[in-house]
Every structure is written in structure tokens, then in C-alpha cells.
Structure 1
Amino acid sequence: MSDVARAARLLRTAYETRTPVAPLRGNLLPVGDVDTAYRVQQEQVAQWEAAGRRRVGAKIGLTSSAVQRAFGVYQPDFGVLFADMAVPDGTEIDTGRLLQPRVEAEVAFVLGADLPFPQVTPADVIRATDYVLPAIEIVDSRIAGWDISIVDTVADNASAGLFVLGNQPRSLSDVDLRLAGMVLEHAGEPLSVGAGAACLGNPVHAVAWLAQTLAGTGTPLAAGDLVLSGALGPMVPVTAGATYEARISGMGSVRACFSPEETA
């Protein structure tokens, strides 16, 4: 069995058993080898799809310049979204489904047209977007203690966990995403603040990067795809029993509600 297959099996076992594993970098995967990390991700995705999980889109990570510097990389990363990751707004999330969850507020794009071009412009993204929604991504690392590098998170499907979407779609013509302010709060206390400009300068730019990258891999974004475009502010560790509400100016709000530990 190859190291790629071993890494994919370890991560899938961690996902299924809710038991984190040691970092992969420097062990099964070479330090800094992002291409090999994506091969691990692709192997897991193929296995999940064979098991019946339905792919619904993609998520973008590492969209903040500060986070990129911390990882020593200068481009975002991406992972795959599946239908069973979606949680309705305000519905209680079983905290026991997750290992070490954190939440972050994002803008979700729903596409109304394909983006198959090898070179995608922001104008292409604007034209292809059906609507946008406020979103909370629940990121969750299968690597113990969140001791991750770019290699670990890419292999681990970009630390994807669950996601919650708001229920009031907005046209891109109705909101200036670059200037849209965000606050993520619990019990009225702001825990994370930011704006669209924190996401590669504008979430539209992040989606353009993803569309171009995926077109280059032969798996382009298509009409109906959902894209989580990247965090607008710092992510926040989850406390069992807590409710987190994200408000994005011009877009409304969305809530992620977690069960108490004793009922998880």
C-alpha cells in the first residue's frame, strides 16, 4: 500500500471513529508537498463518492494573507463539500459528530452557470453567480490538537466539517461584498469580526481562483454548485451547548446551534 493510500485510510478512519490522528507531514507525507496532499484528498473523495456521498460543491481555505504567512504558502487551498455536511439554519448540531470543531463566517455562492474556463475573471464569477447567502462553516480537523501544516489540512479535505446556510438569498448586485462587515457572536458577545476584504480582497476573487484551479484539474465548477468562499474573520473554537450567530451587512444572519455534551 502506498503512503498516499495509507494517509487516506488513516484520515477516513479518524473521520468515521471520531478519533484524531498524529500529523501526516514528515511521516507519511513529505513536508511541503501540497500536490501529494491533494492526491490523498482525491483518494478519500473517490471512496466517499463510491460509498454514496453526494458532492455539492467546494470550500476555499487559507484566504487570509495572515494565515497564508503562518503556513508559509501564498495561495489558498480547497476541499470538497458533500450534501450530508449541510445543517439547516438554527437546527441543533450533535456535537458528538465532530472532533474539535471551530466556526467561521463566510459568504456562500450558488452558481447558476458553469465556469469551465482555464482563465476565469471576477466578471465571469459575477455573471455565473445565481445568488449569495451568509454561511457558517464548521471546520474540524482530524489531526490531533489542530497541529496542522498546509499538507495536513489539504490531505484532510481542507479541514471540512459541516456548514450552515442562511435562508435569504441575495443578488450580487444588492451587496458590495468587499465592504460587507461581519460579526460572529455568542449570547450577544462578538467573538470574531471582519469584512469581505479579508477574503483575498473580495470573496469574488476567491471564487475566481477556485474556478480557475478546478478547471485546470478537469473538474470545473458547474451550475448548481455551492462554494464557501473563505472566512471573513478569525475562526472561533466551539463550546458544546452554545449558539453562534453570524451577521453580514446587506446579507442577513445565520446560526449554528450545538448540542450540550451530555446529549451528543
Structure 2
Amino acid sequence: MIIDEAAARLMEAEERKKVIEPLTVTYPGITVDEAYLTQLEIVQRRVAKGAKIVGKKIGATSKAIQNMFGVNQPDYGHLLDDMMFVDGDTISLKQYIQPKVECEIAFILKKDLKGPNITLMDVIEATDYIVPAIEVIDSRILDWKIKFEDTVADNGSSASAIIGGNPTKLNGIDLAHIGMVVYKNGVMIDSAAGAAVLGNPLRAVAWLANSLSKYEVSLKAGEIILSGALTSAVEIEDQDTFTAEFAHIGSVSATFKR
């Protein structure tokens, strides 16, 4: 009962662009399992309406993001085809409620990954290439007052992803030490290295594959996997342009307008 009701509330909030009270307030006893099942119910309803699953996102992998939102473990969400953009796109802010940007590395898979027991070597072998990415996170929950179960049910607070256009093979790339600089309207606002993401973004993808196995969900060949933000999320305002520049793998940029 909670799952169907919670899914309906979140979908209505998304459609009306109106926030709701945290699910953890409306349903004080909601469990992590019920939150993930709520997410899956929303995804299934969107797919039934014509959307296509194109990947997954991993959230709350860095201490910066965990501290920002008051959570202490990673989560995940689904990427659908109507959420995707490419480097250089101008994106309407009207589709969001209270959006923020995160910058990360995206993995594009050439083989399925199905846990449990997926290792870092399995991830390397399954990866076709990596690209820079920007994720737009958004919350259907009032003022981002989220607990872990709230963000999980709300598709990991995901809204959109912008994928860079410089495919790079993993050969010779040290993902733990790869550097990233983030610019807002041409001004540097943050920097980090890949190690901010669970010590190595490869570990984040392995964690995802193993965690999804509990729900009989696997990572599929061809899917895009957002491995998690290296730095804190930044609020988006009208006319903002964000650029993330990574050592060795290039950059990705997007502009947001009302």
C-alpha cells in the first residue's frame, strides 16, 4: 500500500512541479526496501507510458554530498531516455523544481554486470569507455528535507544527465587520481579527484551492480552509469553555464535558461 501511494504522490509532484512533504514524515515507518520498491514502481509506470531505461545513477558516493544532504551511504536511481542531454545543450529550467548540478564520470558498458560478487576487474572488463558528465539532481521533497528513504524513493533525486562527447578507453587511466575542475559562468568554483567517489569510481560501479542484484536488476550492455559526484551539488539559476573539465577525458558543459 505504501509503495503504490508513495509512487503516486511523487509522480504527481513531478508532473505538477509542486513539492510534497517528505515520505518519511507521511509514512514514518517506510523502510529502505519499500523506498527502492517505490522507485522501481515509478520507473515501471514511466516505462509503461513509453519511456526507455538507458542507464543508472549512483548518488551520495562522496563525503561532500553525504554531508550536504545528511546521508551516510550511497544510493542509486534510473536514467530514462527523456532525461538525457549532450555536451553544449541549452536546457530549460521549467522542467525542474529545485535543481542542482553535480559533476562526475560516466561509464558506458559493453557487457552486462549482474551481482552479487562483481569486482573492480569485472567493471573494467565490462566498460566500453568513459566520458565526463553533469547530472541535474532535483527533489520532489519540500526544501530538500530528505532522509535516505526519501531520496531513494525519489529516483535518487535524479532529473537529467548531460553526457560529454569525448569517449575515452580505461587503458592507462588512473581514475582515483584523475582531476576535475568545475566552472560556473567561467569562474572556477570547485575541484576534486576521482578518489572522492568511494576511493575510486570503479568501486562505485561495482557497488551498484552488487546492490541492484537484491532486486533482480542488472546493469546492461549499452547503459550509461553515472558513478557519483566528485564535489558538492551547486544550485542552478537562470542563465547559468556549468562546465566540468577532467584531466585526460575532456570536458562537458550545459547552459540553463527559464
Tell me the SS of whatever aligns to 2:25. coil
Partner of residue 202 from structure 2, selected from 201, 204, 216: 204
Provide the aligned length of Structure 1 versus Structure 2: 258
Distance 1:87 1:253 in 2: 14
Q: Say yes or no: does 1:9 pair with 2:8.
A: yes
Deviates more, 1:59-68 or 1:241-250: 59-68
CA contact (8 A) 1:29 1:37 kept: no
CA contact (8 A) 2:111 2:126 kept: yes
Coordinate RMSD, CA, aligned = 1.5
Distance 1:20 1:117 in 2: 35
Distance 2:68 2:84 in 1: 29
CA deviations on 1:4-61 (whole Å, 9 max, x unpaired) are 2111111001111111111111322526x21111121111111111111100110000
Tell me the SS of whatever aligns to 2:150. helix
Deviates more, 1:78-87 or 1:188-197: 188-197
CA deviations on 1:88-111 (whole Å, 9 max, x unpaired) are 211110110111110010000000
Distance 1:257 1:81 in 2: 20
CA contact (8 A) 1:175 1:251 kept: no
Give the equivalent residue in structure 1 for 2:222.
Answer: 224
CA deviations on 1:211-232 (whole Å, 9 max, x unpaired) are 1112332111121111000001
Give the equivalent residue in structure 2 for 1:52.
Answer: 50
Give the equivalent residue in structure 1 for 2:129.
Answer: 131
TM-score calculated relative to the size of structure 2: 0.95
Partner of residue 122 from structure 1, selected from 106, 120, 123: 120
Shift of the alpha carbon at 1:139? 0.5
Partner of residue 182 from structure 2, selected from 169, 178, 184: 184
Identity percentage of aligned residues: 44
Give the equivalent residue in structure 2 for 1:151.
Answer: 149
Partner of residue 41 from structure 1, selected from 15, 39, 42: 39
CA contact (8 A) 1:135 1:163 kept: yes
Judged with a 3 Å threshold, the aligned counterparts in structure 2 of structure 1 residues 106 and 66 are, in CA distance, closer, same or farther, namely: closer
Q: Say yes or no: does 1:19 pair with 2:21.
A: no
CA contact (8 A) 2:71 2:147 kept: no
AA of the residue aligned to 1:166: G
Q: Say yes or no: does 1:248 pair with 2:254.
A: no
Q: Say yes or no: does 1:164 pair with 2:162.
A: yes
Tell me the SS of whatever aligns to 2:23. coil
Distance 2:189 2:183 in 1: 5
Tell me the SS of whatever aligns to 1:25. helix
CA contact (8 A) 1:138 1:160 kept: yes
AA of the residue aligned to 1:101: P
